[in-house]
Chains A and B, each alone.
Chain A
Amino acid sequence: MHIDWFVFFAQIVNFLILAYVLKRLLYGRIVKAMDDRQARITSQIEEAQQMKDKARESAEAFEEKNRSLNEMAQDVLNKARDEAGKTRQDLIEKAREEVDLIQQRWYDTLGREKTSFLENLRKRSGTYVFETISRILFDLADQELEQSIVNKFVRLIREAGKESLDLLSHDRALQNTGIVIKSSFEISASQRSMILDELKHYTVADVEINFETSPAMVAGIEMLVSGHKYSWSIKDYIASLEERFAQLLKEEIPSIPDA
């Protein structure tokens, strides 16, 4: 075992040189690279963690916003539903009012038509009854109906005269107003003289008596004296017929109210 001292010291120097060079070329660089990499990875992990936190916050904010929007949408929907319900109720009320109005108008129209119909019916009925009765009286009694009406009217004056027409004889106002006798037919001269003969028992001589023909009257005759009316007309009978006819019509159409 022999030690070469030159080689011994040379090896020490060699080792020190190698340690120094490797420290510069190897360890320093490698350790620096590893530290840099670790720092970078740590930085990336921290950055990823931050992004993850940020993403989580964004997701939570989004969920919160979504929840808020849903609640808002629900509120708007509820409000719209309420408003729609209210509007529908208003429209129903309005429609009902319109229907009632239309129904009322219809009832009015129907009532007017009914009235017009009944009026027309009354006229026609009166006319037909007048014609029928005239024809019957003319055929059976061999006497004109008009004469019968005049006779009836004369009797009516006579019956009334006993009670109330006596007052006419003292009524000076009649000289101004006169007496108007309306009839549905033209009163003949003989018939007029019958009436005048009867009236002269109750009136002063200078009272003016006018005869008028009114087609609106139904087979009748009437006299207006100082606000009093003395009349006979088929109209009274026709009115009874009309009442019964209206009652019959109401029974046939019960939903139609009275006009």
Chain B
Amino acid sequence: MEILLLNQISPDQVVLLQWGFLRITATLLYTWFVMGILILGSWLITRKMSSDVHASRWQNLLEEVVSTIRNQIQEIIHDDPGDYLSFIGTLFLFIGLSNLLLIVPGYVSPTASLTTTSALAICVFIAVPLYGITKQGIVHYLKEYFQPTFIFFPFHIMGEITRTLALAVRLFGNMMSHDKVIAILLAVTPLFFPIIMHALGLLIGLVQAYIFAILAMVYIASATQAHEKKDGKEN
């Protein structure tokens, strides 16, 4: 009895098309699928935007989502969230929708691929110094790596790398293990229990998207606001 399909092990393993080193895998396909939904949905909803008091339900939904993201960012940085909204909001929406679409039969979340989570983590890894340098200047930003003494420079670098790695592995581990646990439970238990686990999985998916986005924001905030750099919010 085959309890795990190949794509359930890792969508990266499923190659749909290949031209030389160009490989269209299931990860990319599902990523485009999620991107398509986000872009198409945004375009459809926002093409008839209304600044009136009475707005459409979908517009209200999007406004609520965007407003919540802005509030979360503002609570962390205590500043205008406009500069970070696009980056943090896209992280949350992409990861969240990727995880919620697990309810679609045959769909495998791109976040269950270490390649995808690593790519997102690298984006955060690059975004942190970019925002830090933009806000503080390169000298002031680099000076933080030598605080309190230059001896701590390697530890700062290790900290940057490890937290990026943790960011990637945490999301990947959670999403990948969820698929695997569902598959195993489906094989050994009656139908109802996996349904509950599936619902729980949707919640976990949203929580993981929230954690990933919040941690990314905390890292960026620590880089842009030196006095809060070691506030330990990532724990």
- The interface of chain A, by Cβ under 8 A from chain B, is 1-4, 6-12, 14-23, 25-27, 29-34, 36-37, 40-41
Contacts and interface: CB of A to CB of B under 8 A. Distances in A.
B23 A18 contact: no
B201 interface: no
Secondary structure type dominating chain A contacts? helix
Contacts of A15: 90-91, 94, 119-120, 123
Contacts, number: 119
Interface of B: 10, 12, 21-23, 25, 27-28, 31-32, 35, 38-39, 42-43, 46, 49-53, 55, 59, 62-63, 66-67, 70, 82, 85-87, 89-91, 93-94, 110, 113-116, 118-120, 122-123
Contacts of B120: 11, 15
Contact of B31 (A4, A11, A20): A11
Of B51, B94, B120, chain A has the most CB atoms within 10 Å of the CB of: B51
B154 to A, nearest CB: 25
Given A3-B114, A6-B23, A37 B46 contact: no
B38 A18 contact: yes
A18 B66 contact: no
B84 to A, nearest CB: 11
A181 B208 CA distance: 165
Contact of A14 (B32, B86, B87): B32
Given A11-B31, A14-B35, A15-B120, A29 B115 contact: no
B32 A30 contact: no
A1 B39 contact: no
A38 to B, nearest CB: 9
A214 to B, nearest CB: 126
Contact of B94 (A18, A30, A34): A18
A30 B90 contact: no
Contact of B51 (A20, A22, A26, A40): A40
Given A2-B12, A27-B86, A33-B59, 19 more contacts: A7-B28, A8-B115, A8-B119, A11-B28, A11-B31, A15-B123, A19-B90, A21-B39, A22-B89, A23-B86, A25-B39, A25-B46, A26-B46, A27-B66, A27-B85, A30-B63, A31-B70, A31-B85, A32-B51
